[in-house]
Amino acid sequence: MSLELVSEVSIRDVSPRDGLQAESKVLDTRAKLDLIDGLALAGVPRVECTSFVNPKLLPQMGDADAVMTELTRRSRTHYSVLVPNVMGAERAVTRDPDEMTVFVSASETHNWKNVHCSIAESLAQFQKVMVVGRQHTIPVGAYIVTAFGCPYEGVVPESALLDLTYRLFELGIRMVTLGDTVGVAQPLQVQQRIRTIRQSLPGVSLGVHFHDNRGTALANMLAALDGGVTYFDTALGGIGGSPFSPGAGGNLATEDAVYLLEEMGVDTGIDLDALLTLGDRLAEELEHPLPSRVRQARGRMVPVGREGELHE
């Protein structure tokens, strides 16, 4: 791998949705609003605010309507929501998100476990979601979860991933995020799959969403960056995971991604100190430490310059 860096990237912090959905403690609406606004004030350009799913299945997202109604909208921040089907989309559009994101598994077994239907049935729902999005001029993106491996089926064939990306493209979806749902991806696999999709479907904008079960999320981020990807999902503190995916760990921490990228000269536009302060408040709310490496190292590390020299 010969690393070639872009000058800037766009980070979407998913902690208000993917992060909090994995927490046993359900934060109140005010705490969620403070988290979202804190991310925006820290310079995070895109925030995934909530999910319009059945609150009986995910009580952590039961206040989705209130969150989207009451949030403070900052002009430099893009506010997106997750929707599982057309019913979720019809709820979401009344709250005026900047984007709706649908999600489908690359493996049939996981899709059944996750949303209780086949991949084909999910895609049929997305066709209806696209209609709702066009009616309200709200763009629709997509997650492909288990894009690298499935907790039930093992490694997902690259051909299956490419086929699913193509089917999403046929629906009119132009932003596709590849999710490593249970943290099994490795850098060469990441590069190969990105290369295959970009060569076969140059009209698709690719993002990546890495979980850090095995400590590979940062390495996979660099592999994706080298492959030309500039859209990255992260979560404050490294929280997150799917309650419907056995073994799913936390997300790549926003602090860790920002630290590494900025030290390498890649602009994120995000204030790391503000993130750390915000993470302190989140840890207090959740009543447990956050797994971010940069957070754990704070106060112990010696600052090093980009060429390796110690700062005075």
The 10s digit of each residue's pLDDT in 149-190 is 999 999 999 999 999 999 999 999 999 999 999 999 999 999
pLDDT of 249: 61
Determine the Cα–Cα distance for residues 15 and 39; give it in Å rounded to an integer.
10
What lies within 8 Å, CB to CB, of 76 at 6+ separation is 40, 43, 45
Taken as a whole, the chain contains a residue count of 312
Determine the Cα–Cα distance for residues 3 and 76; give it in Å rounded to an integer.
30
* 311: pLDDT strictly greater than 50: no
pLDDT of 2: 56
Determine the Cα–Cα distance for residues 290 and 212; give it in Å rounded to an integer.
13
* 194: pLDDT strictly greater than 70: yes
pLDDT of 271: 98
Q: What is the DSSP letter of 128?
A: H
pLDDT tens digits, residue range 7-22? 899 999 999 999 999 9
* 309: pLDDT strictly greater than 70: no
Tell me what percent of the residues of the chain surpass a pLDDT of 90: 86
Q: What is the mean pLDDT of the chain?
A: 92
CA angle 272, 273, 278 (to 5 degrees): 95
pLDDT of 4: 66
Q: What CATH architecture does domain 10-297 belong to?
A: Alpha-Beta Barrel (3.20)
* H/E stretch holding 167: helix 158-170
pLDDT of 301: 53
Q: What is the CA radius of gyration of the chain?
A: 18
* 228: pLDDT strictly greater than 50: yes
pLDDT of 298: 82
Mean pLDDT of 229-237: 97
pLDDT tens digits, residue range 78-123? 999 999 999 999 999 999 999 999 999 999 999 999 899 999 999 9
Q: What is the DSSP letter of 15?
A: I
* 257: pLDDT strictly greater than 70: yes
Name the residue ranges covered by the structural domains of the chain.
Answer: 10-297
* 308: pLDDT strictly greater than 50: no
Is the separation of the CB atoms in 69 and 95 below 8 Å? yes
* Strand ranges, E, within the chain: 10-13, 46-51, 78-82, 99-105, 140-145, 149-150, 154-155, 175-180, 205-210, 231-234
pLDDT tens digits, residue range 31-64? 999 999 999 999 999 999 999 999 988 999 999 9
pLDDT of 6: 79
Is the separation of the CB atoms in 226 and 3 below 8 Å? yes
Q: How far is CA 59 from the centre of its chain?
A: 20
Q: What is the band of 303 on the pLDDT scale with cuts at 50, 70, 90?
A: low
Is the separation of the CB atoms in 60 and 31 below 8 Å? no
* 185-189 own/partner pairs: CB under 8 Å, 24+ apart: 185/147, 185/148, 185/149, 185/210, 185/216, 185/220, 186/216, 186/219, 186/220, 187/1, 187/216, 187/219, 187/220, 187/222, 187/223, 188/1, 188/223, 189/148
Task: From 3, 14, 7, select the one nearest 236 (Cα to Cα).
Answer: 14
Mean pLDDT of 259-287: 96
Is the separation of the CB atoms in 53 and 88 below 8 Å? yes
- The number of CA neighbours under 13 Å toward the Cβ of 279 is 26
β-strands 140-145, 175-180: how paired?
parallel
pLDDT of 7: 84
pLDDT of 304: 52
